[in-house]
Homo-oligomer: A and B are copies of this chain.
Amino acid sequence: MSLAAFQAEHLPLVEAELLHFLTEQTSEKELLEAMSYSVKAGGKRIRPLFLLAVVAGFHHELTTGVYQTAAALEMIHTYSLIHDDLPAMDDDDLRRGKPTNHVVYGEGLAILAGDGLLTEAFHLLSRAQLNGEEKLLLLQLLAEKAGAKGMVAGQVADIKGEGQQLDLAALAGIHQRKTGDLLTFALVAGGILACQTPAVLTTLEVFSHHVGLAFQIRDDLLDVLATTEELGKTAGQDAEAGKNTYPALLGVTGAKAALDRELTGAKAQLAILAEEYNFAPELLQELLAKFEM
């Protein structure tokens, strides 16, 4: 099955689980509206897609519990976007071509919509149709990757680093936590849901580190190279905000080379999974191809 067909078949089921749960679990109309607005704002669902592609690659059934785990992950990602866009943080007015949450609903409700999505992500996962042991493992991993040494720490480090000259290692450390850790969850959770061994989970984690960095380098490059219209958010903002980016540190050519290196590293891990663990790599290969520039 092609990636496009896979996406078309499975991503709507993730979104359905997500919106069904939110609708059922929210007692204030405005809160539901604000949360749903950002959920529906047309993201690429790259994290759920990685998770599902791993589960499917191991020839494991895409159960309701799998969709629910992917939905919880997307809720965490969505909350982080809402909070990151706030005036006190990145102060973004546009996201995916639409006004950001606080522009539409005001800052107070935007903060609460983020808090609601974050809390309901753990709620959904805690009630997912999975066995108890699996659920606890996934809850621990999600909280770790989204928490104070994961995504939240990455955002703190990012804010702190603004206007300072960082070296490559410091920049990578920020991105691994800020965007990489949720990708790591996506890939490792896929392995957990497909009942894989610790050795496989480790390979998936190494794979995710390459993908996470590739993702961020590409994002930085797009901010430099694309127009606002193509990007769906205001272009050229990173440089304006004095942000540390790969193109700023390495130049555009250097950043493209770094991107290639990470993609090559990712493919090497994928080859191990395919050769040693009966993993069907086609979907992930197609996904990686989209990162090339």
Contacts and interface: CB of A to CB of B under 8 A. Distances in A.
A292 to B, nearest CB: 31
Interface string A30-64: 11100100000000000000000000000000000
Counting every copy of the chain, the complex holds 2
Dominant SS at the A interface?
A: helix
Given A88-B106, A107-B88, A147-B25, A115 B31 contact: no
Interface of A: 22, 25-28, 30-32, 35, 79, 83, 86, 88-89, 106-112, 114-116, 118-120, 122-123, 126-127, 132-133, 135-136, 139-140, 143-144, 146-149, 152-153, 155-157, 159-160, 177
Contacts of A114: 115
10 contacts: A26-B148, A31-B156, A109-B156, A112-B155, A118-B119, A119-B148, A119-B152, A122-B122, A122-B143, A132-B136
B139 A26 contact: no
Contacts of A156: 28, 30-31, 109, 112
The 3 lowest CB-CB distance pairs between A and B, nearest first, are A123-B143, A88-B107, A27-B149
